[in-house]
Chain A
């Protein structure tokens, strides 16, 4: 039971209603100049990209096992059981490891603020908790962005591909990327042609660092016995040498 978003690039008409709804929901300014910006940033948490005659939409992918949440030293980022990956600005100390670690280059930092925060889409956590769709899904006039249960959306995506195989590239982006994400993409062309990063590892990223971190207790316990033992032996040796030297 986890919420997700399905974005169907073949349906998207590039009207940017999702951008405007997102800005309103966050209380961020939105005007023609900001609408013209084609990338996400600290003041624009979702963006419509144009690739030739096709559109694509960028937003937080809400990974099942997010790298950002695993690297955050103060636990300011959490994957909720509801699905969204949420951020508590009051905890954040601004190390920007989340920005560094995200395979999708999503978290944005308020570089020009004196007391900055990280910013990213939180999949309208409080709306979803009330059972309402995300602001972007509610605003989309053509159903290109759809909100629902992840399992149901995956099934629907498969059905769309099966029904119109000529209109779709036969894969779902987000099914396995970075271990699976809560934002899923459908496209008419291979995903790299609509600007998605297809070199993202297929397994969960946090495992890469946990593999090393889980050794810490072993290193500490083995290390202290080993170093303590070495000290005991060498120190004893020095004492004996000293005592024997005196006797002679």
Chain B
């Protein structure tokens, strides 16, 4: 018992250290501008905050729309127990993306400008509108949890009445902006390393977002079962693992076709950082995909979890490669994030895990059946472990 308490304290200390460094980085950002808080320059205007906080953040929250489609549009009811945590993750994810945007925008006070100043030719304009509308949809999908808790039935009924069009809108908005995050890069053909620049970027971003949405659902179910002492919905997650394997193999095959057709396969023979980071990304996605095809892997919680984590890291590697690695060579400079960029990113991730935990503790997010009395004191090492990773 003592040992366990000590462990908790260590993770708490790390958590506090992350938030503290994040606070100092925030001070730098506000008083010394982007130049004081980042290593960005005219040659390299988008860095970690775009590549991780925005590209990864939005993608990792894709479990929300994927599961809404599965449960409410395709009416596959058995996935219902994991729908609410997925919606909560998505809602928190989008809120945190907005927070990250406040750091990254040169003029965060003008975040609202796309509302009234339109340019339909801009991918960023489309993304801004989709993210704004979808965050509203997610709020309406999440808020019944709060209304239920306090027994406010009238607004609950009102939301219930519009739930079908709301969910369809949510799926469409997600389809649009998940793919558009890839379209953002279509305009820089001569700046992007050819292993990643492809006219198929939007489709690839969309497919991989669905994949990582499923992986994140497995990931958070596993953690919440540990944190809250719930039984794991193993058969559900295992069948989800199978869907993930099929989806990711289709994705990887399309990536291969795309790279082969564009005739850039020979680039892989070059000993460059791009080659190795590309191979790392593909390995992190291909290995779990191959493993998940085996029933023995899917039915073992630890192995299933490890596969989901690998897919998540493979996805993150892909987005970081698109946002940073691919842009390095042509930029004529070498960008490495400043410590304060990393501190802000880690703080946002850590805050996300902490808020998720608090909400999950006080609101009916998980099915009630297996909640145990002592679960409330469960440690938060998972949260901090991931935040530190």
Query: Quick check: is A208 within 8 A (CB to CB) of the other chain?
Result: yes
A111, B35: Cβ atoms under 8 Å? yes
Residue A75 is within 8 A (CB to CB) of chain B in the complex: yes
A155 in the interface (beta carbon within 8 A): no
Determine whether the beta carbon of B119 is less than 8 Å from that of A75: yes
**CA of A206 to CA of B124 in the docked complex: distance in angstroms?**
13
A116 to B190, CA, bound (A): 27
Q: Is the CB of B34 within 8 A of A111?
A: yes
Is the CB of A2 closer than 8 A to any CB of chain B? no
B108 neighbours in A (Cβ, 8 Å): 93-94
Q: How far is the CB of A227 from chain B (nearest CB, A)?
A: 5
Decide: B33 and A73 in contact? CB cutoff 8 A: no
Contact status of A74 and B32, CB under 8 A, knowing A100-B46, A208-B186, A231-B73: no
How distant is B38 from chain A, measured CB to nearest CB, in Å? 8
Name the one of A70, A208, A210, A230 contacting B74, with C-beta atoms under 8 angstroms: A230
Residues of A within 8 A of B300 (CB): none
Q: Which residues of chain B are within 8 angstroms of A205 by Cβ–Cβ distance?
A: 187, 189
Which residues in B have their C-beta under 8 angstroms from that of A5? none
Closest CB-CB distance, A204 to chain B, in whole Å? Answer: 10
Kindly report which residue of chain A lies nearest to residue B172, judged by CB atoms.
Answer: A223
User: A109-B106, A231-B73, A234-B73 are contacts. A74–B202 as well, Cβ < 8 Å?
Assistant: no
Q: Which chain B residues border A107 with CB–CB below 8 Å? A: 42
Cross-chain contact B172 with A99 (CB below 8 angstroms): no
A112 at the interface (CB under 8 A from B): yes
Contacting residues of chain A (63-106) with chain B, CB-CB under 8 angstroms:
67, 70-76, 91-97, 99-101, 103, 105
Q: Is B45 an interface residue (CB 8 A)?
A: yes
What interface size band does chain B fall in?
Answer: 35 or more
Residues of B contacting A1 with CB < 8 Å?
A: none
Complex: A70 Cα to B128 Cα, angstroms: 15
Q: Is B377 an interface residue (CB 8 A)?
A: no
Query: Quick check: A74 and B125 within 8 Å, CB to CB?
Result: yes
In the bound complex, CA of A230 to CA of B122 (Å): 32
Report A-chain residues with C-beta under 8 Å of the C-beta of B171.
Answer: 223, 227
Q: Which of B275-334 contact A (CB under 8 A)?
A: 332
Interface size of A by CB at 8 A reads: 58
Indicate if B41 sits at the interface (CB-CB under 8 A): yes
Residues of B within 8 Å of A200, CB to CB, are: 190
The stretch of A9-17, A134-142, A145-153, A212-220 that contacts the partner chain? A212-220
Bound complex: CA A108 to CA B104 (Å): 16
Cβ contacts under 8 Å, B73 to chain A: 227, 230-231, 234
Which single residue of chain A is at the shortest CB-CB distance from B184? A97
Q: By the criterion CB–CB under 8 Å, are B42 and A99 in contact?
A: yes
B176 touches A219 (CB 8 A): yes
8 Å CB interface, B133-186 against A: 164, 168-169, 171-172, 175-176, 179-180, 183-184, 186
| B121 with A99: CB separation less than 8 A | no
User: Contact at A224–B172, with CB atoms within 8 Å?
Assistant: yes
Task: Let me know if B341 is at the binding interface, CB within 8 A.
Answer: no
Q: Is the CB of A231 within 8 A of B75?
A: yes
B362 within 8 A of A: no
A245 to chain B: which residues have CB within 8 Å? none
Q: Report A43 CB to chain B, min CB distance, Å.
A: 12
- Which residues of A lie under 8 Å from residue B7 when comparing CB positions? none
Interface flag for B380 (CB, 8 Å): no
Q: Is B72 an interface residue (CB 8 A)?
A: yes
B119 — nearest CB in chain A belongs to which residue? A75
Q: Across the interface, which residues of B come within 8 angstroms of A74, CB to CB? A: 110, 113-114, 117-119, 125
Q: Which residues of A contact B229 (CB under 8 A)?
A: none
Check B190 against A216 for contact (C-beta < 8 Å).
no
Q: How far does the alpha carbon of A114 sit from the alpha carbon of B36 in the complex, in Å? A: 10
With known contacts A92-B107, A219-B172, A223-B172, A72–B183 Cβ distance under 8 A = no
- Distance between Cα atoms of A75 and B328 in the complex (Å): 28
A91 nearest in chain B by CB position: B117
Given A71-B187, A93-B110, A235-B75: A210 and B121 interface contact (C-beta under 8 Å): yes
Q: Given A114-B33, A201-B190, A209-B186: A93 and B105 within 8 A (CB)?
A: yes
Q: Does B120 contact A (CB under 8 A)?
A: yes
B114 & A73 in contact (Cβ 8 Å cutoff): yes
Indicate which residue in A199, A220, A235 contacts B172 across the interface (CB closer than 8 Å).
A220
Contacts of B117 in A (CB 8 A): 74-76, 91
Interface, chain B (partner A; CB < 8 A): 30-36, 40-43, 45-46, 69, 72-75, 77, 104-108, 110-111, 113-114, 117-128, 164, 168-169, 171-172, 175-176, 179-180, 183-184, 186-191, 199, 202, 332
Q: Report 16 cross-chain contacts, Cβ distance below 8 Å, ordered by A residue.
A: A72-B122, A74-B113, A92-B110, A95-B124, A97-B184, A99-B42, A103-B188, A107-B42, A109-B34, A112-B33, A208-B187, A209-B187, A212-B180, A231-B73, A231-B75, A235-B75
Interface residue ranges, A against B (CB under 8 Å) = 41-42, 67, 70-76, 91-97, 99-101, 103, 105, 107-117, 197, 199-201, 205-206, 208-213, 216, 219-220, 223-224, 227-228, 230-231, 234-235, 237-238
Known: A76-B117, A213-B120, A228-B168. 9 other contacts (CB 8 A): A72-B119, A93-B113, A111-B41, A116-B106, A197-B190, A201-B190, A209-B122, A212-B123, A212-B180
> Nearest 9 A-B pairs (CB), nearest first?
A94-B106, A111-B35, A234-B75, A99-B45, A73-B124, A93-B110, A75-B119, A74-B117, A112-B35
